[in-house]
Amino acid sequence: MDPMLVIERQAEQTDSRILLLVMDGLGDLPREGDGHTPLSAATKPNLDRLAAEGCCGRFDPVGPGITPGSGPGHLGLFGYDPTEYEIGRGVLSAVGVDFPLGDGDVAARFNFCTLDAAGNVTDRRAGRIPTDENVRLVAKLREIKPPAGFELFVETESEHRGVLIVRGPGLGARLADTDSQHTGVPPLPVRALDAASAGTAQIVAAFVAQAHRILAGEAKANGMLLRGFDSLPSIPSMQQRFRLRPVCIAGYPMYRGLARLVGMEVPPPPADLQAFPGAVTAHLAGHDFVFVHVKYTDKAGEDGDFERKRQVVEEVDRLLPDLMAAGFDAVVVTADHSTPVPFKAHSWHPVPGLLWSPGRAFRDGVTTFSEQACIGGALGRMPLRQLIAEAMACAGKVAKFGA
């Protein structure tokens, strides 16, 4: 039997509290020369203290050798099997920007991108244009008319990211991505993956063609790439599965969207990283599971910026005492996936993680929080989705199994 099914059956609602601090894309590879990762190179006394007082390990978001997207990685963090609950990026983005997605709607996440004169992608993120520039461009794209009987919605997510939603009768959601995730090649054509999605593909292809004509004169964002087509799924909440009362403190829409899909309360995003501790305190009442998401480690990894990724770790470390000030019975610090600086992309490498729960978590011999140190931790290497079970047990939220 899947051990998570036992956790579901034995879960108890209590007043104890769990903090799940996720540094997106935290995992990395040792740098040539000194062997450091951004995490191991960082000055982080508070994270090191939690590691020394608790236990550490490494975790596979989906499985060994599998490179996860952010959606599957976070489903694993919340205790779900990512191979059982597949949620397209478009749905996560749409829900994350509070779009009222309905049954049968088809949503896709898009990037504004930069195309050269030959139509090849030179920058998949259009230089990370500012969000206000995105808003201006989205307003232009909203002028595109859909076929009779259908609706098109174009929404800003953040920076270069946006969401396209198609609404109407008989839509299929199985469309291939137009983002090859490579530069030097043109966007892929819009393509249906089954007969039921052929009509949707025609609508989206017509939209993209018109969008490229409208964007043609833009200096950076003169094209668009779409991925993660999907419709609204049915997924049990964390309250239903684990009797938790969760709340999400996150700034980026996609992670807020995923949190909402698993039943978390999602208050307005903090203004910046410094505002996170205050948001935790302000929204703790009535909740016993606090998910805090920090995006900036992942951004630095995608930009290949070792020093910036190290600095983000140090910024989070300085905030950690204030994040924990309200009092938690168990604290987990980990990531949804690895984003190694040399890769500038997600990778299959397991993520480092620590579990702190004085008097309950096994105290191993690890004295610092790093990818290398976590290899020797008491938690070993396990599926990421089982980490929440360890935290719940340490917080006294899992009843004894059997006589």
Which pLDDT value is given to residue 92? 86
Per-residue pLDDT tens digits for 264-286 = 999 999 999 999 999 999 999 99
Tokens 């709340």 belong to which residue?
247
Average pLDDT in the 118-128 region? Answer: 94
The better pLDDT of the pair 287, 97 is held by: 287
In a domain, 401, yes or no: no
Task: Specify the CATH number for the domain of residue 363.
Answer: 3.40.720.10
CB within 8 A of 166, min separation 6: which ones? 105, 106, 107, 146, 150, 151, 152, 200, 203, 204
The better pLDDT of the pair 39, 87 is held by: 39
Length of the chain as a residue count: 403
Structural domain boundaries enclosing 339: 3-83+237-394
The pTM score is 0.83
Do 354 and 223 have their domain in common? no
In a domain, 321, yes or no: yes
> Which one, of 392, 403, 394, lies nearest residue 11 by Cα?
392
Average pLDDT in the 151-169 region? Answer: 95
Average pLDDT in the 247-268 region? Answer: 92
Do 46 and 102 have their domain in common? no
Do 246 and 196 have their domain in common? no
The answer, yes or no, to whether residue 1 has pLDDT greater than 80, is: no
CB within 8 A of 330, min separation 6: which ones? 16, 17, 18, 19, 355, 356, 357, 360, 361, 391, 392, 394, 395
CB-based burial of residue 176 (10 Å sphere; 0-12 exposed, 13-18 middle, 19+ buried)?
middle
Mean pLDDT for the chain overall:
95
Amino acid at 81: D
Per-residue pLDDT tens digits for 5-28 = 999 999 999 999 999 999 999 999
Average pLDDT in the 282-303 region? Answer: 96
Do 221 and 261 have their domain in common? no
Do 279 and 140 have their domain in common? no
On whether the CB atoms of residues 53 and 325 are closer than 8 A, the answer is no
Q: Among 196, 230, 264, which residue terminates a domain?
A: 230
In a domain, 344, yes or no: yes
**Domains contained in the chain, number:** 2
On whether the CB atoms of residues 246 and 238 are closer than 8 A, the answer is yes
In a domain, 326, yes or no: yes
The two three-digit tokens of residue 327, written as one number: 């009092």
Average pLDDT in the 368-393 region? Answer: 97
Which pLDDT value is given to residue 369? 98
Three-class SS state of 181 = coil
Per-residue pLDDT tens digits for 303-356 = 999 999 999 999 999 999 999 999 999 999 999 999 999 999 999 999 999 999
Positive or negative torsion for Cα 250, 253, 259, 263: positive
Q: Among 178, 199, 230, which residue terminates a domain?
A: 230
Which pLDDT value is given to residue 131? 94
In a domain, 348, yes or no: yes
Which pLDDT value is given to residue 27? 97
Strand bridging mode 18-23 / 330-334? parallel
Task: Specify the CATH number for the domain of residue 206.
Answer: 3.30.70
Do 53 and 71 have their domain in common? yes
Helix (H) or strand (E) holding 352: strand 351-356
Helices 131-141 and 198-215: crossing angle in degrees, nearest 10, is 120
Q: Among 230, 251, 277, which residue terminates a domain?
A: 230
In a domain, 41, yes or no: yes
